[in-house]
Structure 1
């Protein structure tokens, strides 16, 4: 099942070799605990734990961690849940529900998730697409931005209110804080409002995913379509019947 790792790496904007490497859960790292960064960012914390479990092939645990991150609006984790449902990794295969999860992941129109959502849509039959429409409202009610943004806002504000400069030691040092899927930040940037102010935090994620640089993907030989056949475009949201 390791063939799925490159797919997860692409969704997260990481090199495939990085996703394949075993990593220590950042929440168990002394520096991370002292800094408290992930304590206030449960979306990133649970995604990191999901990646660690996936790397250990603990797929059931991984998908549960990704669901927790998704509960706080992490679009990457929502997309990974969709991928795992699509392929039946750590959960019973359900490509209809995979489409709905990927549609929620594509809610903000991040190109990578929109493209994957469209690919899923084109692979399903009309009855399966209708089932996806019927299921979408319930998933959006729990994992859509309208539900998740208040949760992450509360987490950010609660943790930021508890912090003091001593938690990261001298802000002039070279402490690096790992941000799963984004790289790292140095200690001097710990209090940057873009990591704690809800609107700026959302904008930081938007900037990352909207401008994610595409890697090179090797595909098979081109397949000739009959006549003028073209894939049917998906609706913007399966949950909004046309």
Structure 2
């Protein structure tokens, strides 16, 4: 039961959805989440998106019950502002998976994961808070300051944005930076991938990337909090 709340995520949350959009404002207004095409999920793509890379590594280790490795990998993803990975770190501290259980520190991490006020993440935060006594709450608030100083959006978003901009500078296209369907990227297996798909600006323009994540994680999810760890189930979770 202690891991049940995470099962809905683990089946398919290996990469965030993405969609083409002509402008940031329009993307934020009219997002309609869809999975990232499987064919672009190459080593090069993950190299430009370390949040996805380390989240995936954490999920794989978690599924294999290699909890110590999973915790390390989720923290690496957390260093690139990956809120789901921060939520998983909270869960692992709460349950003592890969490390000694530490409820005040678990709350500090779940509070961080809920920093953008995604509803399902806030549900988890409030469930954790309800189970702490007054001394634990005071400790959680105190220790949370160091967690925020190291992993808050203001610190970790720039880490990922640097990687995205570096990848953008390495794009192959016209001198003006235009990438068209005539450009193809060849993966390690010799398969050609359309440049307009591989280099969709939603994957590389930081403001659009964050907007897309917000649209995905803000989707309504059915939540059921019982005695013990919070449990979240969503019939809309993509499998990919």
> TM-score, structure 1 length as denominator?
0.71
Alpha-carbon distance, 1:5 to partner: 4.3
Partner of 2:6: 8
**Aligned counterpart in structure 1 of residue 216 of structure 2, from 189, 192, 208:** 208
Go from structure 1 to structure 2 and tell me whether the alpha carbon gap of 1:219 and 1:130 turns closer, same or farther (over 3 Å shift): closer
Partner of 2:126: 118
Determine the C-alpha separation between the residues in 2 that align with 1:208 and 1:200: 12
Partner of 2:72: 64
Unaligned 5+ segments in structure 2 are: 14-37, 173-182, 228-240
8 Å CA contact 2:40–2:193 kept in 1: the answer is: no
Determine the C-alpha separation between the residues in 2 that align with 1:170 and 1:74: 29
Q: C-alpha root-mean-square deviation of aligned residues, in Å?
A: 2.5
Unaligned 5+ segments in structure 1 are: 20-28, 173-186, 221-242
Alpha-carbon distance, 1:219 to partner: 6.0
Alpha-carbon distance, 1:54 to partner: 1.0
Structure 1 residues 47-93: Cα deviation after superposition (integer angstroms, max 9, x where no partner):
00001111111110010000000011000000000001001011110
Partner of 1:46: 54
Alpha-carbon distance, 1:98 to partner: 0.3
Residue 167, structure 1, aligned to residue 165, structure 2: no
SS in 2 for 1:167: strand
Alpha-carbon distance, 1:192 to partner: 1.5
Partner of 1:78: 86
Residue 96, structure 1, aligned to residue 114, structure 2: no
Determine the C-alpha separation between the residues in 1 that align with 2:52 and 2:69: 16
Determine the C-alpha separation between the residues in 2 that align with 1:194 and 1:41: 12
- Larger RCO: Structure 1 or Structure 2 (Cα < 8 Å, ≥ 6 residues apart)? 2
Aligned length: 189
Go from structure 1 to structure 2 and tell me whether the alpha carbon gap of 1:5 and 1:159 turns closer, same or farther (over 3 Å shift): farther
Equivalent residues in 2 for 1:9-28, closer than 5 Å: 9-10=7-8, 12=9, 15=11
Partner of 2:143: 135
Determine the C-alpha separation between the residues in 2 that align with 1:31 and 1:206: 22
Go from structure 1 to structure 2 and tell me whether the alpha carbon gap of 1:189 and 1:213 turns closer, same or farther (over 3 Å shift): farther
> TM-score, structure 2 length as denominator?
0.71
